[in-house]
Amino acid sequence: MAEIVPAREDMLDEIEAIERLCFSQPWTRGALRSQLDAESHIFLAALHDGAVAGYAGAQTVLDECYISNIAVAPRFRRQGLAEALLREMERECRGRGMAFMTLEVRAGNAPAIALYEKCGFLRCGVRAAYYFDPREDAVIMTRFFNSQAKKD
């Protein structure tokens, strides 16, 4: 049984382990912890039978929401957890009056791009050679809430 909850300090060990498993340039413990500041961040965990199976973190600036990380542990993938995290992120954004939520994704990360498109994100631009290890372009994808570009 999966549920989406606000991330807590005592979940950081599990979140950090998933971060290291999923990314070639993982965020440090301190960077992950900084997202626990709920005034300027939205930090969510997906629990599976009480254990952390995935998470999503974002920083808010005025009415803009910048998603920093989203990951699901390999053995829990394709069960709808990332989609549930993004739906809850959207609900939280709307509650806080955000105009959009946006992120960068590796151009070759087909699973993530399919996820974002399913959740209503639009391709809004490219940052050339944004990533390294390996070098790759970033696609900027944005989910608008209040503009003409809105897609429900």
CB nearer to ligand COA: pick between 83 and 146: 83
37 belongs to the binding site for ligand COA (CB under 6 A): no
Omega within 30 of 0 (cis) for the link into 134: yes
Q: Of residues 8, 29, 96, 118, which one binds ligand COA by CB under 6 A?
A: 118
Q: How far apart are the first and last CA of the chain?
A: 27
CB nearer to ligand COA: pick between 3 and 83: 83
Cβ–Cβ < 8 Å for 124, 140: yes
**CA quadruple 95, 98, 104, 107: dihedral sign:** positive
Reply yes or no on whether 116 is catalytic: yes
Number of residues binding to ligand COA, judged by CB under 6 A: 19
CB nearer to ligand COA: pick between 24 and 148: 24
Q: Of residues 97, 108, 111, 125, which one binds ligand COA by CB under 6 A?
A: 111
Q: Of residues 42, 65, 98, 115, which one binds ligand COA by CB under 6 A?
A: 115
* Interaction residues for ligand COA, span 67-106 (CB under 6 A): 70-72, 77-83, 105
Long-range Cβ pairs for the range 14-18 (8 Å, 24+) = 14/51, 14/52, 15/45, 15/52, 15/55, 18/52, 18/53, 18/54, 18/55, 18/71, 18/72, 18/73
12 belongs to the binding site for ligand COA (CB under 6 A): no
State the residue for tokens 């199976």.
53
Reply yes or no on whether 130 is catalytic: no
22 belongs to the binding site for ligand COA (CB under 6 A): yes
Which secondary structure element, helix H or strand E, spans residue 95, and what is its range? Answer: helix 81-95
Backbone angles phi, psi at 133, to 5 degrees: 55, 60
Using CB under 6 A, list all residues that contact ligand COA. 22, 70-72, 77-83, 105, 109-112, 114-115, 118
Catalytic site residues?
Answer: 104, 116
